[in-house]
Amino acid sequence: MKGLMHKLYLFLSKSTNLKTKSKIVIFTGTCLFIAILITSIIFYSVYSSVMINKSIEMTKEQLAVAVSNINNELDSYARLLYTLRLDKSLHDQIVKDDSDIYNEYFDTYYGYFIIIRKINDYLNSLRVSCMYPPELELYLLPQKDHPTSYNPIYFDLVKDIDSVSDLPWFKKLMESNRANILWESVTQEDSNDKDNISDVSKTSVFSASIVLRNRKTGQDIAVARIIQSTKQFTNTVKKTLDLNNGSFFILDNQHRIVHSVNTNFESLPKDFIQWNTETYSYPLNGYANITINSKKKTAYLQHDDIMNWQYFYITNNSIILEQIFAWQRLLLLLLIS
């Protein structure tokens, strides 16, 4: 009898030890799982924040490169105009006196006709030297004993001053500091929709004008003007910005669209693109989280002093969020397994 009781005691002792050990194992495993879960959540949060900040900084750099490339194109047009302004040989041809240009045999200004043709050819050679050749026009200001009208059949770049003397851009140029370039832009705008500004695929243009001055006399002798389409900027920004998942806009200082590459939504609310409104307030350079058509997006901004333009790059946040969610799913699978 004593032997049977002893065996029962030993069996119960072993069962109690097994239960205790099981509880310890379960408790230890639970603590370890909780520790791994907390660590994973912290790591996931840090990873998400790092990825978002990295994406923002990278996109800001890409926009800066795109704007720099556009400025390089604008600089090439500025150099062309300053070349004309400083070209003494060109100035000498423009101001040749009556004895040099008048042909007594024909009783015409045939000699001046030849000079203008040479100037026309010279202008064209400068124009085509640009990567994106612009329209180039030269308006000769009235000189003593010089004709002021030329047959456009013969001269496509040298223009009649009378055709532009009453235009706003010409008056503004002549009233401004004539040593500087006057930059202006013609914008695209959907006037039928007062609440939204749409990308209606219209062609916008910008112009740059400068007065040519005789360096000897200080007299104004001509006005040179460049006209160029903004469509060329599409190819420029495509080299650095992802336009399949984002949209690019150029706005002037009146908040009008100068150029746009808009592939993701049809229009922008006006309260979005206007600075210092009650809805949004943007810095001159930086980024802002916005909502368009109930979708969260990030708008990157950069200001340009040459044209007084504001560059916008609006990107879809879904791409980086998908990457983060993919990491989250992988983490959950690892924890479950």
What angle (nearest 5°) sits at the alpha carbon of residue 184, between those of residues 182 and 188? 175
Task: Provide the pLDDT for residue 82.
Answer: 92
Q: Mean of the per-residue pLDDT values for the chain?
A: 72
Percent of the chain with pLDDT over 70: 57
Query: What is d(CA 190, CA 257) in angstroms, rounded to the nearest whole number?
Result: 10
pLDDT at 22 over 90: no
Q: How far is CA 326 from CA 38, 45, 308, 315, in A?
A: 19, 14, 42, 20
Task: Read off the pLDDT of each residue in 205-225 and give the average, rounded to a whole number.
Answer: 87
The residue ranking higher by pLDDT, 225 or 308, is 225
The residue ranking higher by pLDDT, 143 or 198, is 143
Task: Provide the pLDDT for residue 265.
Answer: 53
Task: Read off the pLDDT of each residue in 62-70 and give the average, rounded to a whole number.
Answer: 89
Query: What is d(CA 157, CA 206) in angstroms, rounded to the nearest whole number?
Result: 18
Query: What is d(CA 266, CA 195) in angstroms, rounded to the nearest whole number?
Result: 13
Taking only the tens place, the pLDDT of each residue in 233-263 is 888 888 888 888 788 888 877 777 788 776 5
Query: What is d(CA 320, CA 234) in angstroms, rounded to the nearest whole number?
Result: 24
pLDDT at 280 over 50: no
Give all domains of the chain, ordered by start, each with its CATH number.
Answer: 79-233 (3.30.450)
Task: Provide the pLDDT for residue 321.
Answer: 55
pLDDT at 100 over 60: no
Residue 260 phi/psi, 5° resolution?
-150, 145
Q: Residue 224 — pLDDT band, cuts 50, 70, 90?
A: very high
Task: Provide the pLDDT for residue 194.
Answer: 39
The dihedral region occupied by 267, where left means phi > 0, alpha psi between -120 and 50, and beta the remainder, is beta
The type of residue at 307 is M
Task: Provide the pLDDT for residue 277.
Answer: 41
Task: Provide the pLDDT for residue 308.
Answer: 81
Instruction: Give the range with max mean pLDDT: 53-57, 147-151, 204-208.
Output: 204-208
Among the ranges given (65-69, 226-230, 319-323), the one the predictor scored with the smallest mean pLDDT: 319-323
Task: Provide the pLDDT for residue 211.
Answer: 92
Taking only the tens place, the pLDDT of each residue in 130-184 is 888 888 999 888 766 565 555 544 567 887 777 788 888 888 888 887 778 988 8
The reply to whether the predicted model has a pTM over 0.75 is no
Taking only the tens place, the pLDDT of each residue in 103-135 is 555 445 666 777 788 888 898 898 888 888 888
Task: Read off the pLDDT of each residue in 90-99 and give the average, rounded to a whole number.
Answer: 73
Taking only the tens place, the pLDDT of each residue in 294-331 is 777 788 888 887 788 888 888 876 555 555 555 555 65
